[in-house]
A and B are shown apart, each in its own frame.
Chain A
Amino acid sequence: MELIYVAAAIMMGLGGMGAAIGVGILGGKLIEGSARQPELAPKLQGTFFLGAGLVDAIPIIGVGIAMYLIFVVAG
């Protein structure tokens, strides 16, 4: 039963790590892109939010499942 906590921790940790790298690259490229062509910045920002939302989904789902494991399955 204790392994459930480890599973939840791995789930949240790895999911968060991947998304952090992804959003980091995405944000960096957004700044780079809007520095090169400032007139495109609003359009790029819309696309950025779309991409961030897609990247964001996995760790958020992971956190939800992890919380379920910790508090309902193990608790």
Chain B
Amino acid sequence: MAANGDSQTVSEYIVHHLTNLTYGKLPEGYERYDGSVVPAQGQWTLAHGADEMAAMGFNAIHVDSMLWSVGLGVIFCWLFRRVAVHATSGVPAGWVNFVEMIVEFIDGTVKDTFHGRNPLIAPLALTIFVWVFLMNLMDLIPVDLIPHSLMLMGVDYQKIVPSTDPNITMGMAIGVFLLMLFYSIKVKGFGFVKELTMNPFNHPLFIPVNLFMEVVGLLAKPFSLGLRLFGNMYAGEMIFILIAALFSVGLFWMLPAALLQIGWAIFHILVITLQAFIFMVLTIVYLSMAHEDH
């Protein structure tokens, strides 16, 4: 699929763009794409195509998502640390100004929405906001630029927007969920159990009903949090890819496609910032709920 770039159809092009570079373990006796058979004990290798990815099952990791997200996280830490080290009491300029603006913005939002006492929340919110924003920002890089360049160097698949990978967004949501549970138990102690079992109907007879409703409500939070970011970014990426596929239709479509690409990219600047902001605000709100007694 990757090798014959000229003859691929639109749906092949889209599927190729939506496939992660996967490293995993193929089961014993599996016949690979080039006809070779996997030896005994299985084989750790890069997947080639959707069938091999499916055969790997659970023993697989999306190398590209991991590298891009961790790399962007390192860039964020390096940049903000550099600014913090160079900050002086004089008039700020350039990057210092920019970083101060972001930090003050996050600080204001946290103060508005979070009423407990916890020194972790503001740094957490800053990290989530900037990190998710940087991951979403990869969406604005032309869809073919990096994957195609890497393909010429021999890497078949590459998905450069980590937040279009549900593993990344759901992983972050699970992280937030664990923090919610931790602070609920730490702040409320046994009151957390009481909150889960006694909340809408305050009677021992209604404990199963209460428990069911509260647990569903609790689990829905990380689920919707992760899925919202994933869905938005995936849909946005999908539309970028479709517009890019328009270039292959013919010379006449070049100009409209270019205009559409620019238009959607400009609209997308709003979407990526908004989604990073929403992810951050919801994290603060959920953690704030974990700190409050009813």
A25-75, CB < 8 A from B: 49-50, 52-54, 56-57, 60-61, 63-65, 67-68, 71-72, 75
* Cα distance, A64 to B9, chains bound together (Å): 19
In the assembled complex, the CB of A64 is this many whole angstroms from the nearest CB of chain B, namely 3
Closest CB-CB distance, A27 to chain B, in whole Å?
A: 15
A64–B235 touching, CB < 8 Å:
yes
Given contacts A53-B275, A54-B278, contact A64 B11 (CB under 8 A): no
Is the beta-carbon distance between A72 and B15 smaller than 8 angstroms?
yes
A53 CB contacts on chain B under 8 angstroms:
274-275, 277-278
Contact B274 A67 (CB under 8 A): no
Q: Which of A50, A60, A71, A72 contacts B236 (CB 8 A)?
A: A60
Residue B231 lies at the interface, judged by CB distance under 8 Å to chain A: yes
B238 and A64 contacting across the interface, CB-CB below 8 Å: yes
Contact with A along B229-271 (1 / 0, CB 8 A): 0011011101100100100000000000000000000000001
Complex Cα–Cα for A53 and B11 (A): 30
**Contact: A72 with B14, CB < 8 Å?**
yes
Q: Mark B140-152, 1 if CB is under 8 A from A, else 0.
A: 0000000000000
Which residues in A have some Cβ–Cβ distance to B below 8 Å? 49-50, 52-54, 56-57, 60-61, 63-65, 67-68, 71-72, 75
Q: Could you write out 5 A-B pairs with CB less than 8 Å apart? A: A54-B228, A56-B274, A67-B239, A71-B10, A75-B11
Chain B positions within 8 Å of A, measured between CB atoms, are 9-11, 14-15, 228, 231-232, 234-236, 238-239, 242, 245, 271, 274-275, 277-278, 281
- Taking A60-B232, A61-B232, A67-B239 as known contacts, 6 extra A-B pairs with beta carbons closer than 8 A to each other, sorted by chain A number, are A56-B274, A61-B231, A61-B234, A64-B231, A71-B14, A72-B11
